[in-house]
């Protein structure tokens, strides 16, 4: 059975697991879900993860299109990329856990 973007449901779930499996990556995603956007230093300070770990996981999330970035000179600000259907699924899941609604897809 084909799901989002022509992937089988197992492939789609595998992609979701690959994105969410590392605990630090999930911590970063939840942080950005709650704060909307932040630079690496703020994410590092408020999550307790090292700067290098945050940078590494953000680069992995960027390569998958889960997060986007804005640049202000040398400062990079990251946010969840809701143009990616997988990010929308993650957002909806986090909303369901928090008891909030908002399946707008934006």
pLDDT digits (tens, 9 = 90+) for 9-50: 445 555 555 666 678 888 999 999 999 999 999 999 999 999
Among the ranges given (1-15, 20-34, 74-88), the one the predictor scored with the smallest mean pLDDT: 1-15
Of the chain, the percentage scoring pLDDT greater than 70 comes to: 73
The β-bridge partners of 75 are: 72
Whether 104 has a pLDDT exceeding 60, the answer reads no
CATH class of 24-98: mainly alpha
What pTM does this model have? 0.73
- When pLDDT is cut at 50, 70 and 90, the band that residue 84 belongs to is very high
List the domain boundaries for the chain.
Answer: 24-98
Is there a contact between 106 and 95 (Cβ–Cβ < 8 Å)? no
């Amino acid at each position: 059975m084909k799901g989002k973007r022509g992937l089988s449901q197992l492939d789609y779930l595998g992609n979701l697991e690959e994105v969410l499996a590392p605990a630090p990556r999930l911590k970063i995603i939840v942080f950005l879900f709650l704060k909307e956007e932040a630079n690496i230093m703020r994410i590092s300070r408020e999550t307790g993860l090292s700067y290098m770990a945050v940078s590494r996981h953000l680069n992995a999330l960027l390569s998958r299109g889960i997060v986007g970035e804005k640049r202000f000179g040398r400062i990079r600000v990251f946010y969840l990329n809701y143009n990616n259907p997988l990010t929308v699924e993650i957002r909806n899941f986090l909303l369901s856990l928090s008891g909030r609604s908002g399946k707008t897809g934006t």
